[in-house]
A and B are shown apart, each in its own frame.
Chain A
């Protein structure tokens, strides 16, 4: 038998940077950056930001070189247009590391860039996301809601029928995308124009994505950006808090790779509203009930192994084999709630990323059933006094640890939060940005472990072991 001796794997010269970049992308902490001044890079020193999205006016060989020396990747942002391909080829000729296609492009543009081995990140509309394309480096969209509590014109919080304030969030969309792919997930919406944005709103946007294991591409409003570049003390103080929030999640990268933990599965797909905000996932999220999104394509026995309840939003979309999976699930004692025969998800017709107001009634038909089924059941964790908060419960594939990640969307800290987590845990520790971890007293509650949190500002996580 001849033993073939192998040396180091050789790649065509042009492929090496691409492979390095692909390897680095999961660790990228992206931000839109509106300066080509090399000195502005100093502002990044105390943040984990290591990937800058630059508008065309900021493409500069000198800036790209200086950024690279600091270990910061630069990407040129290109938008659809007649000369899109030509524009998309320019950034790398100036030394930028790649290109971001923001918007919906002809597939020929994407293919041409891929053929040229130019690192390309697509941030299309939500509806334009192509989950079948496995060559995609990052899954994401430029469309998103600005996270926070909806406020009416008179300044008071808008109430949902439950009486709790309604939270605008991208978490439902992001949870679904995370479940649909193993690739990094970005959301690149920008702050609303003509609005004074307090720093906690930025931290909420960071947390909104981070608790799903995704990245919000940091984007500052014009006024903040201007004040920051001018090094105004107030802006620098806020920037430090933003950097602290980003560092908080980067110092716990392991949470990003953990999986949703809980006993409720939601079977849904892009065609049945999974890419919309305010959809069924967000409705469940507002109840702070842990939920595992199961994209229809991934509906297999393995996907349902931890579930005791399941909601199937679009039964007509299931293949016979998938229907068998759900039959086996119910035979094993699982509770399945299927959308009624003939019911279809009210998809918006205008490209909107939220359900149209006129369609709320239709969505309410299924929501009442879901709400009734979930009721007061603890499906992994139950949280109390959290009407302004959203949470995710995640766990590693192995081990007896769970992480409860929290975001408070109110402009005020929340006091006296209680969490009842299924299972017996001996230790609980609260992590918040800029403070030492704090041990929490654990106590026994029905079916699990209780912990109380005195106060939470904007973001925080509890590790239970």
Chain B
């Protein structure tokens, strides 16, 4: 049974059945590594981690690998003037080391994607504006390419991803073709808090899969706006308006408009619709207290850790624990102080287990690398 088939079965099952099946949700090994700096042997560390998970080659050989990086917010907004990769963005060295390993493991093509903030311009330029050296990246791997998924991009049509079981907020999402035209989907996330969702890890990173052309505040009413220039607060976070009518509308426009209700559900739905095959979380240097410099009370932190796995829920569960939180905490308890727990929502959809006792942690022990994100 494939993961998608399993999810469909779970979603279709009655509640009692779901609870039983939740215990059968995937629980795959997660690798944890101590890595104090981006300047050390990052490639070697990542190679060891993927070996601990059974090797990259078996997953990526002769495959197209699409890597969703986390470049949230405008690259012009820096926290205390620090390079973006040291705070809230995926670090370019993490990207280069991964691309190198993927090529070495036989991947046919590595495509970096992100829905670049407020633009449909080439992702290459956005990356340069984010302090990436494409020159260096191409030196690390000759098979890389880029796609800005904030609009139609290089595709001719949007790809529709149905949410197995019908979804919480949206029944399906229209996304850039890159999320469909791939064999392997990797979420390359940052270990950090999120003001609305508590934590933003490999699953929350996928909120950025949604194109602002359809889900943005300046999306067309009927058709996508191929020149989006705004974020997605009105459509997704607050539900003040619907996405472009070319995409499926909300299931229940009368449901709660509280972002703490909506966002965890949208994230869970997105992960069910387009599951993550490889989750890689960069916690070497990051921020605590929020997801970007527009959040007050941030502080730069150096947890010095990397977490990877082949199941996003399992990987995020371990990552949440590394951050010093209970991954199964209910709403009202940190980090899910004002929101529902995305991990548990995803678990209930059959995406993966949040039960640490079922997840084998390989490499470093959680206790040895734990870094408390709460001040």
Contacts and interface: CB of A to CB of B under 8 A. Distances in A.
Interface in A410-428: 410-416, 418
Given A411-B81, A443-B135, A163 B117 contact: yes
Interface in A340-393: 375-376, 382, 384-388
Nearest to B293: A156
B81 A159 contact: no
Contact of B135 (A162, A410, A415, A452): A452
A412 B135 contact: no
Given A159-B76, A376-B122, A387 B129 contact: yes
B123 to A, nearest CB: 12
A416 B133 contact: yes
Contacts of B136: 452
A165 interface: yes
Interface majority SS (helix, strand, loop, mixed), chain A: loop
A144 interface: no
B266 interface: no
A162 B76 contact: yes
Majority-rule SS of B interface residues: loop
B83 A416 contact: yes
Nearest to A157: B77
B35 interface: no
A162 B230 CA distance: 9
A164 interface: yes
Select the residue from B82, B128, B131, B296 with max chain A CB neighbours within 10 A: B128
Contacts of B134: 418
Interface string B121-139: 1100100111111111000
B80 interface: yes
B80 A418 contact: no
Interface residues of B, number: 27
B146 to A, nearest CB: 14
A450 interface: yes
A163 B129 contact: no
Contacts of A157: 77
Contacts of A410: 78, 81
Given A163-B118, A416-B131, A416-B132, A387 B76 contact: yes
B106 interface: no
Contacts of B122: 376
Most chain B beta-carbon contacts within 10 A, residue among A375, A385, A388: A385
A5 B132 CA distance: 70
Interface of B: 73-78, 80-83, 92, 117-118, 121-122, 125, 128-136, 293, 296
The 10 closest A-B pairs by CB, nearest first: A412-B81, A163-B74, A164-B76, A384-B128, A387-B76, A416-B131, A385-B131, A384-B129, A418-B128, A415-B83
